[in-house]
Amino acid sequence: MHLSGRRILLVIAGGIAAYKSLDLIRRLREKGATVRCVLTRGGAQFVTPLAVAALSEERVYDDLFSLTDDNGMSHIRLSREADLLVVAPATADLMAKMAAGLADDLASTVLLASDKPILLAPSMNLLMWSHPATQANLATLKARGALQVGPGTGDLACGEVGDGRMADVADIVAAIERFFGLPGPLSGRKALVTSGPTHEPIDPVRFIANRSSGKQGHAIAQALQRLGAEVTLVSGPVTLPDPPGVTVVRVETAAQMLEATLSALPVELAVCAAAVADWRVAAPAVEKRKKVEGVPPPSLVLEANPDILATLAAAGERRPRLVVGFAAETERLIDHARAKLTRKGCDLIVANDVSPASGTFGGDANTVHLVTPDQVRSWPLMSKTAVAEQLALFLAERLGAESP
């Protein structure tokens, strides 16, 4: 109940991301906050006043000239009784009104009449977001003291891909908690996460790799950051956007990943979620290998890649307090995970089935088993984001008894 006693006024504007506002209300109330809501006419096209009222357990305000409000001055009372105003989604239209000082509906009037801090969660099409008018309006609002969370990069409702996606609900909640100065369970701690595949060159245009998408590792980095950790993410080649608030180091090969992880030390927590190639070509060709008719294909001489997980687990005085590895297996999952735990010398193995039937590699869901020297904890199938959030909380609890 970190937000117990905090009063938040949520302005829900007219964008498809308004559906996320319902989850935002629920999450804030779970943390003890009182949430009142202003719903614009556009916002009501995406979420109903009844749904908003049911989740907030408060009356929903949507009419500037309501005859049922005391003295017709609800916009003044709403703006003054809140500790923080949150606009989610913050559309291009509403931000333009705010920048120009317009007050032609309840939402814009409340925002103009307020003397309280305002947190914006922008959401719109990528061209609307990048338009000079929108950026100028945002700059004006930030110069006046408005706070901002997001937007992120990803699939947009219009079918395009790019900037403009409203921040995840967990990121908005974390931004609200930071505003109130509330420390997360990992505040003051540094964490290292590896993610994605590695590409081991055969020649300048070909390489050895695997099917890892990096979705699980990136989600873990984001979840740790939301709990207050200072996170360095060492990522192999992926097509994912950088997690907000995370320091990202991009690499291609296992050797580069090892160098980057060692450079990130000291940290208290290391999560090695990357699918590092076990082998590399001993002598990559300087020029592209050509196919020659009648000549057999060339043989590749392989050598072992450095073992990043074992290196971190044996780092002596620089060893992280908690070293976590991943075991991506296609058979005898728990047996192989236990053997890897012993062989690598780490504290925990997160085992998951990556056989083709599982859909784990490249997919959005995962089934994991937490293997420690004395027990195995099996979690049900859940989204990779949920796995990351649960794992981050589990690791925070493991570190909780130790001082930063």
Mention every residue, 6+ apart, whose C-beta is less than 8 A from residue 339.
Answer: none
In angstroms, the CA 248 to CA 234 distance is 6
Side chain identity at residue 313, one-letter code: A
The answer to whether 41 and 108 are in contact (CB under 8 A) is: no
Task: Cite the beta strand spans of 150-301 per DSSP E.
Answer: 152-155, 161-165, 190-195, 200-201, 207-208, 230-235, 247-250, 269-272, 279-281
| Rg of the chain taking only CA atoms, in angstroms | 25
Which candidate, 140, 76, 69, places its Cα nearest to that of 114? Answer: 76
Per-residue b or e along 259-271, where b marks 16 or more CB atoms closer than 10 Å to that residue's CB: bbbeebbebbbbb
Side chain identity at residue 403, one-letter code: S
Q: How far is CA 399 from CA 128, 153, 266, 348, in A?
A: 43, 32, 15, 13
Q: Centre a 10 Å sphere on the Cβ of residue 335 and count the other Cβ atoms it contains.
A: 11
Per-residue b or e along 290-321, where b marks 16 or more CB atoms closer than 10 Å to that residue's CB: eeeeeeeeeeeeeeebebbbbbbbebeeebbe
Which candidate, 267, 276, 365, places its Cα nearest to that of 326? Answer: 276
In angstroms, the CA 315 to CA 302 distance is 26
Is there a catalytic annotation at residue 158? yes
In angstroms, the CA 78 to CA 11 distance is 11
In angstroms, the CA 138 to CA 133 distance is 9
Q: Which of 37, 158, 272, 346 is catalytic?
A: 158
Mention every residue, 6+ apart, whose C-beta is less than 8 A from residue 332.
Answer: none
DSSP code for 364:
S
DSSP 309-363: HHHHHT-GGG--SEEEEEEEESSSHHHHHHHHHHHHT-SEEEEEE-SGGG--TTS
The answer to whether 11 and 110 are in contact (CB under 8 A) is: yes
Q: Just list the catalytic residues.
A: 158
